[in-house]
Chains A and B, each alone.
Chain A
Amino acid sequence: MRSEQEAARAIDLYADMVRRLCLIHLKNQADSEDIFQNVFMKYVLSTAAFENEEHEKAWFIRVTLNACRDLLRSFFRTHTVPLEELVDLPAQAPPDTRWVLEAVLSLPEKYRDVLYLHYFEGYTAPEMGKILHKNTNTVYSLLTRAKNLLREKLGGDGNG
């Protein structure tokens, strides 16, 4: 089991990333908070040895995505959570930020991870393939389709 200091360091380093991954998969604050806490709890309980910070970061991405998917698939959630939920977007965000995030969230789930990992975290398709356990060519296809769909939704400013 890892120490409290190690947990504090991990929270400092990865909290924002875990929060963003939760946002692009989960639609309410309560679920996001649960998963957020579970991910760091799992880190503290885990004995996984990391070769470097990149390896540790990839572990956090994988564990967060798995936790979000598990929650979305769980029996209780699929049978009890209402379909209409308020999307958990930053309250004070400028209108354009909200609009872009809403556009991302309106895309099918499979496209959101690649958009975030590529455009924000800077991962290449082969790197994303390893993290997401997907074939590199599949990742390229997802990324291209995601880009096109997003461009359509945002009005196609041609910078992508």
Chain B
Amino acid sequence: MVDRLQNAFAAVKAEESLKEKTLAAVSRRAGKRRTAPLLWAAACLAVFLGLGGGLFFTPVSAISVDINPSLELSINRFDRVIGVEGYNEYGKKVAQSVSLLFADYSQALDTLLASEGIRDCLERGEALSIFVACDDPKRSGEMLKKVETSAGSGRGVHCQTGNMADSAAAHEAGLSCGKYLAFLELQSLDSSVTPEDVQGLTMREIRQWIAELSGEPVSEQDYETGHGHGKGCRHHHGQDT
């Protein structure tokens, strides 16, 4: 049975024409990246405004990306990005430099992580924190898997989930979710710390501050271990509200 199975699977090959078409599409797409999202956004807007914009424009989840730029994507029930909010100056600049509206969230995340502002930070070894806020545990789990796949195994990558209440509380404090959770951790160690104190800091600086206060120094090594394949990701759905 094993030989027959192997022979059967081996008979399936990608057609040369498909490979060529794909390579051509990949090359072509690279050139179109700047205009296509705008056209797509306009088309989506026209369709969904006509077919019940209320449902389409209601966020059911959010993805917060914190490194030095700190920004958040609002996601609707159709997995489309319906809002991009920068939570610091750098985040606002990055949000303006990429077209993410109405894109599928995993594609938007790929684009965001490939953007110059974030790529530079990753290359400098800054800690990347991605937070998925969603009240539906199943959906949240699926989103986390995709987010982990997009974030890959770069050093200092932290992915975690929580609920929309985390997101609301973070917004009230003027922070993105990822930074807000780090702020809460920090505040539990020093009650005098305010959201304004952490707003301009990078995630690495906040982590170092937490490490100093807790007396447990976090070295580079700590950031480099346990990441990739989601091993190092913390999952705490429903906590830290």
**Interface residues in chain A, defined as those with a beta carbon under 8 Å from any beta carbon in chain B:** 1, 4, 7-8, 11-12, 15-16, 18-20, 23, 33, 36-37, 40-42, 44-51, 55, 58-59, 62-63, 66, 75, 89-90, 93-94, 96-97, 100-101, 104, 115-116, 119-120, 130, 133, 147, 150-151, 154, 157-160
CA–CA, A51 and B18, complex, Å: 28
Q: Is B93 close to A, CB under 8 A?
A: no
- Closest chain-B Cβ to A108's Cβ sits at a distance in Å of 17
- A100 x B22 contact (CB < 8 A): no
Nearest-Cβ distance from residue A47 to partner chain B, whole angstroms: 4
Residue of B14, B106, B145, B152 ringed by the most chain A CB atoms within 10 A: B14
Distance to closest chain B CB from A73 (angstroms): 10
B191 interfacial contact with A, CB 8 Å: no
List chain A residues, Cβ under 8 A from B9.
20, 101, 116, 119-120
Q: B27 interface residue, CB < 8 Å from A?
A: yes
Looking at the complex, which of B40-48, B56-64, B110-118, B212-220 is the stretch in contact with chain A?
B110-118
- List 7 additional contacts besides A42-B110, A96-B7; criterion CB under 8 Å: A1-B30, A4-B27, A11-B14, A18-B14, A41-B26, A97-B7, A97-B11
The 0/1 profile, CB within 8 Å of A marked 1, for residues 27-54 of chain B is 1011000000000000000000000000
Consensus secondary structure, chain A interface: helix
Judge whether A7 and B26 touch: CB under 8 Å. Answer: yes
The complex places the Cα of A129 from the Cα of B152 at a distance, in Å, of: 18
Listed by A's residue number, 27 A-B pairs whose Cβ atoms lie within 8 Å are A4-B30, A11-B22, A15-B18, A16-B13, A33-B21, A36-B14, A37-B21, A37-B26, A41-B25, A44-B26, A45-B110, A48-B149, A48-B152, A48-B153, A49-B152, A51-B153, A59-B149, A62-B145, A62-B149, A66-B149, A101-B8, A101-B11, A101-B12, A119-B9, A151-B1, A157-B1, A157-B4
Judge if B187 is at the interface, Cβ distance under 8 Å: no
- B78, B107, B152: the one contacting A45 at CB < 8 Å is B107
A101: nearest chain-B partner, CB-CB = B8
A100-B110 contact given A4-B26, A41-B29, A47-B152, CB 8 Å threshold: no
